[in-house]
Amino acid sequence: MKKKCVCVLLSAAMAMTMFAGCGNKDQASAGETNTVASADAEKSSETEGAEVNADESSGADMSATEAAEETSEAAETTAAEPFEATTVTVFAAKSLNTVMEELIAEYNKTQPNVSIVGSYDSSGTLMTQIEEGAACDVFFSAAQKQMDQLQDEDGLAVDGTRHNVVNNQVCVVTWKGSGTEVTGLSDIGKAKSIALADGSVPVGKYTRQAMVNAGMLNKVDDVSQITTSEIQEALGGVEINECANVGAVTAAVAEGSNEVGTVYYSDTYGFEDRLQILEVVPYELTGNVIYPVAQIINKEADELEQSTAEDFINFLTSDDAKTIFQKYYFDTDVE
């Protein structure tokens, strides 16, 4: 009996041990399962977060790109939008005649409805016409004096629209094959005849200023008042053909009517085969030859015409216009 009880107790103990072992194994297995599941969950969360961030980044990039494209399209639309049909009258110095043709053609590429009508003569003559009431939207002078008169004395220039556009230089020229003994301004009196613009014409004024600074003429308060006869006397009686504008001087020399003359460097453009430059007169003698432009008060102009005139002035000071000016021997390095 006693032996039987011992066997029963041993069997019970073994059963309990086996049960405990199975329980520990199940717990370990469950722990491993939970760890793997947690790791998978974290990995899934990270992947989802990365996908969300990528989507947000992509969306932001697309929004920025779309905004930039819309801004660019709006700018192009504004820049390309032409004015309605209108006419702008420009009074410009004779020395601008040739370059203005190309400038107007370039402007009309973006403003095809605008008709730019140019009137070309000496700046002094054009100034007088404006003072007398001629309809003018834009004045493009070959000197500051005439612009100063219209702006400061007459009050005919629109405030805030005046700009210095280009610089030029006075040249002593002869026709090719003339055989002249003249080498420049200092010995211009050796010529048999000289084509010279009147003192009211900017190139004539700058020529007189150079002669004064070179000691060829006496100093005066206003060099434009020096007469042709006074210059003739100072040069020993040489024949002088007094011209109304620089274009007339250029033509007189190119045709051989006069042996030499003083013109702007830009006026030799297109005459390279007919004119010889004897001297480019330095700025130290003439001073800067600045060409200012400004909008003129035109009581007959409507709002469209006024806006277009201002736009054309802005074009004249643009980089595109500078490239064209340089082609025609103008200096665009001005302040």
Does residue 276 register a pLDDT over 50? Answer: yes
Tokens of 103: 């400038």
Query: pLDDT at position 81, please?
Result: 85
Tokens of 295: 């909008």
Residue 66: half-sphere exposure toward Cβ, Cα within 13 Å: 6
Give kind and range of the element (H or E) at residue 321: helix 319-327
Could you give the domains of the chain? Answer: 86-167+290-327 (3.40.190.10), 170-280 (3.40.190.10)
Query: pLDDT at position 270, please?
Result: 96
| CA of residue 333 relative to chain centroid, distance | 11
Dump the DSSP string for 1-55: -HHHHHHHHHHHHHHHHHHHHHHHHHHHHHHHHHHHHHHHHHHHHHHHHHHHHHH
Tell me the per-residue pLDDT of 150-172, one tens digit each, with 9 for 90 and over: 999 999 999 999 999 999 999 99
User: How many angstroms separate the CA atoms of 49 and 53, rounded?
Assistant: 6
Contact predicate 102/269, CB 8 Å: no
Contact predicate 295/158, CB 8 Å: yes
Average pLDDT over residues 13-18: 42
Q: How confident is the model at residue 66 (pLDDT cuts 50, 70, 90)?
A: low
Range with the poorest average pLDDT among 70-79, 92-101, 196-205, 257-266: 70-79
User: How many angstroms separate the CA atoms of 244 and 256, rounded?
Assistant: 18
Tokens 């403003």 belong to which residue? 111
User: How many angstroms separate the CA atoms of 308 and 21, rounded?
Assistant: 100
What is the overall mean pLDDT for the chain? 85
Query: pLDDT at position 23, please?
Result: 44
